[in-house]
Amino acid sequence: MAREKVEKNKNEDPFPIPMASDDSTCNMGEIKINHSVIANIATLSAMQTDGVLCVGKRGFASGIASFFSNKKSSGSGISVSEDEFGNYVIDICVTLKFGCELAKVAANVQQNVAKHITKMTNSGVGRINIVIEGVEVTEDSGKCGSSGEML
């Protein structure tokens, strides 16, 4: 019988690692995610959306401001804050492809960003505000994809 207990204990993990999706609590400490990490997730998620050319402000003034600023994200065109409930509030500036349905692409950006942030951080997203900074013609402007059909 002693041998059966040893074999049983070999199969069980003596130090189980709680996953973000587990309901079990871990009293090891607090985990905080820097807002610049949330901004990076938002940028990458937005760039994966059909119809988005770039994320962020592209003007001369914003470039100079980001050069002299101590914060990396100040000129990026993305700001992240939290509401009174601890949910993320995100403002994103984007430039879209000419010919795409702007409102549809912006809604798709909101959905993609919310999905990725919720999945990666297990935190809520309160609001995602999209500011369309511009529309530009590119070589493939006629190919917006199914998420941002041509007008």
pLDDT one-digit tens code per residue, 101-110: 999 999 999 9
Whether residue 123 is predicted with pLDDT greater than 50 in this model: the reply is yes
CATH architecture of the region 34-151: 2-Layer Sandwich (3.30)
pLDDT one-digit tens code per residue, 1-47: 555 444 545 555 544 544 455 454 567 888 889 999 999 999 999 99
Assign 3-class secondary structure to the chain: CHHHHHHHHHHCCCCCCCCCCCCCCCCCCCCCCCHHHHHHHHHHHHHCCCCEEEECCCCHHHHHHHHHCCCCHHHCCEEEEECCCCCEEEEEEEEEECCECHHHHHHHHHHHHHHHHHHHHCCCEEEEEEEEEEEECCCCCCCCCCCCCEC
Query: Domain map of the chain by residue range?
Result: 34-151
